């Protein structure tokens, strides 16, 4: 959520920035009207409180003099009801303001490229050279057909479209990839491993920005349809529970930056993605990911973003997978992000680079929604900056390993770094 002062004192300027960078138009007239109403109710409340204090003094003086206090008492008796009505009116206005502001995206950092979609993204660097194969390249679907190790039909029979069953060697390789990533991040990159719930409250989803804007892309569960308090959401990424661990907390400055990682299932309904990547293991309703989350002081956060990208890159380097790093333009960034780098891995079966990691600095946008703070050097609470990224998406990494390390006979060569996790196997 943006700093409220930007929407109160610099509404026109903020509206223009978001329109120009993200193509998002704030409902400025509605916010203006609500702000006028809020100020009016607040002034009335302050006047009532002042009158209450004045009446209390007047009643006290009159009693000391033996004078009648009936009129003053009558006036004072009416004030609590008026204050309560004003409190309810103020709460209603604030709720309406919140409804609007929760749907306003973050302001892009000044270094973010201009652009309205992915065509405005800028390639920063590449690592590795795509292999030239001496045989006809297969994609991961055809490679997985051997022994039905990647079985979309079985997944659809059990759960419907966009669910896949992994079997045998691929199931084992998938598990090994997740363990390899966790070990790398915890032993070499300094992350704290965390095991998180896969179901979270609405407040947690709102804290990281998935709600209210992206409700249609989430899987919601209510154990009691008549009781909203029982509502839970399946996590779209463990960014949500990891980041919310610091919600409503005031952290010790000495503990920052805090680096956390988690391997979890992720669930996305992806209501707006019909027709895209329906074949194969690229876009699933259920998938696994190793998430990276940094909680940092404001002055640390952009250095931490570069560090996080490097950690994700290291996974790909050790797995011998060619990739490129892209700086996303303003129009292609996620709702909560102030700056984002995507890492795209080379997929020979598609003859293209595809996203495998997205690393973002959200600055104080999520922290303000979560009230996640630290006590600064002056002893005052200050909002932290939150960062999140994939380190990596496990299923897409599996696809990349299959396609880049495929052999002429249809087997998959195992990268050297992964072999200890597969009992020394060199291929599957």
Q: Calculate the CA 300 to chain-centre distance.
A: 19
Supply 351's token pair: 């003859």
Q: How far apart are CA 175 and CA 295, in angstroms?
A: 28
Just list the catalytic residues.
268, 283, 355, 358, 396
* Other Cβ atoms closer than 10 A to 74: 10
Q: Tokens in use for 254?
A: 């000495």
Please report the DSSP string for 5-37 in residue order: HHHHTSHHHHHHHHHHHH-----HHHHHHHHHH
For residues 222 and 201, give the distance between their C-alpha atoms in angstroms, rounded to a whole number: 11
**In this structure, what token pair is assigned to residue 360?**
């973002």
**Phi, psi for residue 34 in degrees, rounded to 5:** -65, -35
Closest CA to 116 of 30, 27, 19, 210: 19
Phi, psi of 390 (to 5 degrees): -90, 135
Q: Which helix (H) or strand (E) holds 251?
A: strand 250-252
């Amino acid at each position: 959520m943006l700093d409220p002062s930007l929407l109160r004192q610099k509404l026109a300027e903020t509206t223009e920035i978001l329109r120009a960078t993200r193509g998002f138009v704030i409902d400025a007239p509605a916010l203006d009207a609500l702000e006028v109403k809020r100020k009016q109710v607040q002034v009335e409340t302050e006047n009532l409180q002042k009158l209450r204090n004045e009446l209390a003094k007047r009643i006290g003086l009159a009693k000391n003099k033996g004078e009648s206090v009936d009129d003053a008492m009558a006036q004072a008796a009416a004030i609590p009801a008026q204050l309560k009505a004003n409190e309810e009116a103020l709460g209603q206005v604030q709720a309406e303001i919140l409804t609007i502001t929760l749907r306003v995206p973050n302001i892009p950092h000044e270094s973010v490229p201009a652009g309205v979609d992915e065509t405005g993204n800028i390639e920063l660097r590449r690592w590795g050279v795509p292999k030239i194969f001496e045989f006809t390249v297969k994609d991961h679907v055809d490679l997985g057909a051997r022994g039905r190790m990647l079985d979309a039909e079985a997944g659809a029979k059990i759960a419907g479209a966009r669910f896949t069953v992994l079997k045998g060697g691929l199931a084992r390789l998938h598990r090994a990839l997740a363990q390899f990533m966790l070990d790398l991040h915890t032993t070499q990159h300094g992350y704290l491993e965390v095991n998180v719930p896969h179901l979270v409250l609405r407040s947690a989803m709102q804290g990281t920005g998935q709600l209210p804007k992206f409700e249609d892309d989430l899987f919601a569960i209510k154990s009691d349809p008549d009781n909203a308090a029982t509502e839970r959401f399946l996590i779209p990424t463990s960014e949500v529970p990891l980041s919310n661990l610091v919600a409503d907390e005031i952290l010790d400055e000495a503990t920052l930056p805090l680096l956390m990682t988690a391997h979890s299932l992720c669930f996305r309904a992806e209501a707006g993605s019909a027709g895209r990547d329906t074949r194969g293991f690229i876009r699933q309703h259920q998938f696994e990911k190793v998430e990276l989350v940094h909680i940092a002081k404001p002055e640390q956060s952009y250095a931490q973003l570069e560090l996080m990208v490097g950690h994700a890159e290291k996974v790909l380097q050790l797995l011998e997978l060619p990739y490129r790093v892209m700086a996303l333009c303003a129009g292609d960034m996620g709702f909560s992000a102030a700056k984002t780098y995507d890492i795209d891995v080379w997929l020979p079966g598609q003859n293209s680079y595809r996203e495998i990691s997205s690393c973002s600095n959200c600055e104080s946008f999520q922290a303000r929604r979560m009230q996640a703070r630290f006590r600064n050097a002056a002893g005052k609470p200050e909002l932290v900056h939150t960062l999140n990224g994939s380190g990596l998406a496990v299923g897409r990494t599996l696809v990349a390993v299959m396609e880049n390390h495929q052999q002429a006979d249809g087997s998959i060569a195992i990268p050297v770094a992964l072999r200890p996790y597969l009992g020394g196997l060199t291929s599957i």
